[in-house]
Amino acid sequence: MSTETPRANGALAGLARFCYRRRRLVLLAWIAGVVAVAFVGFGYGAAPDNSYSGGGSDSAKAQALIERHFPEQRGDTLTLAIKAENGIDDPWARQRIEEVIGRLDASSVTGPVTSPYQDATLVTKDRTIARTIVPLTDPDVAKTSVKPLVDLVKEASGDGVALGLAGDKAEKAETPPQGPAEAIGLLTAAVILFIAFGSLVAMGLPIVTALIAILGGVALMKLVGHLAPSPDFTVLVAVLIGLGVGIDYALFIVTRFREALQEGEGPEAATVTAITTAGHAVLFAGTTVVIALLGLIAMGQKMMTGVAIGASVTVLVTMTAAVTLLPAFLGFTGRRIDSLRLPRALTRRRGKDSFPARERRTPAERWAAAVQRRPRIAALLAGAVLLVLAAPALSMRLSLPDASVQPHDRSSYAAYEILSEGFGPGYGAPLVFATQVGAPGADLNAVVDAVRNTEGVAYATEPRVSRDGIAATFVAFPTTGFQDEATTGLVHELRDGVLPGAGGTDVYVGGPNAGAIDFAEETGARLPLMIAVVIVLSLLLLVVLVRSVTIALQAAVMNLLSIGAAYGVVVAIVQWGWLGSVFGFPTEMPITTWVPMMMFPLLFGLSMDYEVFLVSRVREEYERTGDTRTAVVRGLARTAKLITAAAAIMIAIFTTALLGPDVSVKQIGLGMAVAVFVDATIIRLVLVPAVMELCGESNWWMPGRRRAAKEVPAAPAPTRTG
């Protein structure tokens, strides 16, 4: 079965010729388009939306009541935590504390601040620890406006007086930017490309193509945010994914272009060959990533829908750049693709890349042959390793990070410790109860008393009725912290037993803690649906590409194994604390709720990338020879170095997330780096050749096409002429 005709006359071939011949026009169009989109996107793009509540959960209903009937509670607040070794009434300590409170009160972004010296309920009985609420006048206040308040509190802390500023806005304000992490990943990718290509020009093309595409993709994503709002971490995730797939896609195309040049084709013909082979695989691989990302929509969460659409936009732009902008660049470089090269490196490569002699087999060919000699043992050992790595995932707990899991040098962590010591660990995990009442001042005392007398509740406030007399609310503080499993159990006990038993069937439990619990449970319930959607759609796409149901099913199972291994390693490091400090996690913590559901579509799509590039090459060799064993060996040999380099680039980029300050982004970076490593080693080097050897000719089974597959002659590979 020949593929020469579509390569010569298909739409991709025409696109490649156009971009090659009209390279100046294509380059100018890309530059003008990216500059225009960047100007509009970064100047007028949508603000991030970090809301994770919604749907019909208790916490969502409580939040809706509070927003509708208690408008004075809509604004964010900060909490100043105070601890004085000699007591807050010590003259020196009091002077320091009152000075800080006065400066906080005088800020243009805060409302009136009540001094703990005026309200005894804000001070512990021994008067060594106190707290006060600092209201923010603008719910959308920028973190740059809150940062001076955090700095003020940190600078005033010391000499027997410990101060900390808690609150979501304070945490974000003191979280440093990601810094040079992406630049470090980019530099590492450049080094890997230089080693792989041995040429500065060949190294630069994938990086320049990816950077231009990411700039345009992120700017376009910000504009799309007006239609599908996304959280603030979407940009970082999009940059990580865009860099990884953008560089990898260009790497595959540039490699195929260089191979075609070495085999005697001219620059234009080599460009057409690269785009119609590697470029064709790029389109399928990129489409798989987009489909996998859009599977997040099945979660039914507005926040994750925004992430899915935003990240998909970036992947689409990088994919488009690979098959349009890169051919234009290849037109400019032509045979000078190997300029500014390392002579020694290229001398070594020249004999290996062309595979001139069958008797002189490469290490990859010898490895594939060794696996094929003992396929059952290889498959069993690889499967066992993956299952062992995946085992910790069975104990995965989901939550959202709070001050207790932040680095210990943060003001928010200092506030958490002070407030936990003085008012109990549950002070940072308040449960906000809200309900509608039949008349002003309706009696909720029975409900409040029942909540107070529940084991695990430290204390509860008196109920407040809204000014319109329609709703009422009160707050209860658990004895356990935000991340404690007992707090989750308490919320369920209150909802399922305590409130109905006290006549509070219409009382909703909300607040940040209950919202995080609802989000985690809704995620766990919908995750199987998302997984099923992603797998089915990706399988259909892979069947179209490789024309084999068997290989598509193999890919799905192997991808699930590699993702499971990644989940397990993340749980062991982050949740169990194994080597957690080595990877920058300040303490043991549950897995951030959105991390596993974000990881799955990303990793499934990226794993399919490698499957597409490997299997499409195996398919090419099978169409030449009609022999599965030979096709697997040659396909693996021709892609081993390429996939290894691509995986190394991905790992380098993802691990740079560990250098940043955000514990959630660290988790997703760690998980994705582990998955790519497992996928490029255990999966591609062991499981794929072993399983394909075991399946034999069944690898190419397709309903209704069994006979056609058998008609392929098992002949030696013909001489390749381009």
Model confidence pLDDT, tens digit, residues 450-494: 999 999 999 899 888 888 888 899 999 999 999 999 999 999 999
Q: Are 209 and 250 in contact (CB under 8 A)?
A: yes
Extract the residue ranges of the chain whose pLDDT is less than 50: 1-6, 345-359, 439-441, 707-722
pLDDT at 705: 59
pLDDT at 711: 43
pLDDT tens per residue, range 593-632: 989 988 888 888 777 777 777 887 888 788 888 888 888 8
CB burial class (10 A; 0-12, 13-18, 19+) of residue 485? exposed
Indicate the helix (H) or strand (E) that contains 460.
strand 457-460
Taking Cα atoms as reference points, which of 312, 157, 158 lies closest to residue 230? 312
> Quick one: DSSP state of residue 416?
H
The residue with tokens 């390693």 is 569
Q: Are 49 and 229 in contact (CB under 8 A)?
A: yes
* Domains in the chain, CATH or no CATH each: 1-44+198-354 (1.20.1640.10), 77-166 (3.30.70.1320), 362-408+526-722 (1.20.1640.10), 409-517 (3.30.70)
3-state secondary structure of 639: helix
Q: What span, in angstroms and rounded, lies between the C-alpha atoms of 682 and 168?
A: 42
pTM for this model (two decimals): 0.82
DSSP string, 270-288: HHHHHIIIIIHHHHHHHHH
- Phi, psi dihedral angles at 289 (to 5 degrees): -60, -45
pLDDT at 53: 55
Q: What span, in angstroms and rounded, lies between the C-alpha atoms of 120 and 100?
A: 19
pLDDT at 355: 38
CB neighbours (10 Å) of residue 679? 29
Q: Are 194 and 306 in contact (CB under 8 A)?
A: no
Q: Are 355 and 633 in contact (CB under 8 A)?
A: no
pLDDT at 598: 85
Q: What span, in angstroms and rounded, lies between the C-alpha atoms of 306 and 312?
A: 10
3-state secondary structure of 40: helix
Helical segments of 45-142, H only: 58-69, 91-105
3-state secondary structure 583-621: CCCCCCCCEECHHHHHHHHHHHHHHHHHHHHHHHHHHHH
Q: What span, in angstroms and rounded, lies between the C-alpha atoms of 266 and 319?
A: 25
DSSP string, 408-427: TTSHHHHHHHHHHHHH-GGG
Which tokens belong to 492? 């369920």
CB neighbours (10 Å) of residue 449? 12
Q: What span, in angstroms and rounded, lies between the C-alpha atoms of 562 and 296?
A: 19
> Quick one: DSSP state of residue 123?
B
pLDDT at 326: 95
3-state secondary structure 133-158: EEEECCCCCCHHHHHHHHHHHHHHCE
Helical segments of 263-340, H only: 267-274, 280-294, 302-333
Q: Are 691 and 554 in contact (CB under 8 A)?
A: yes
| Count helices and strands in the chain by DSSP H and E runs | 27, 10
DSSP string, 499-526: HHHTT-TT-EEESHHHHHHHHHHHHHHH
pLDDT at 418: 95
Cβ-based neighbours of 221, under 8 Å, separated by 6 or more: 41, 45, 230, 234, 235, 238, 310, 311, 313, 314
The Cβ-side half-sphere exposure at 320, using a 13 Å CA radius, reads: 15
Q: Are 34 and 215 in contact (CB under 8 A)?
A: yes
Provide the phi-psi class of 334: left if phi over 0, else alpha when psi is between -120 and 50, else beta: left
pLDDT at 360: 61
Indicate the helix (H) or strand (E) that contains 629.
helix 628-655
CB neighbours (10 Å) of residue 696? 10
pLDDT at 82: 95
CA 85 from chain centre, in angstroms, equals: 43
CB neighbours (10 Å) of residue 105? 15
**Coarse DSSP helix, strand, coil percentages of the chain, rounded to the nearest 5 percent:** 70, 5, 25
pLDDT at 712: 43
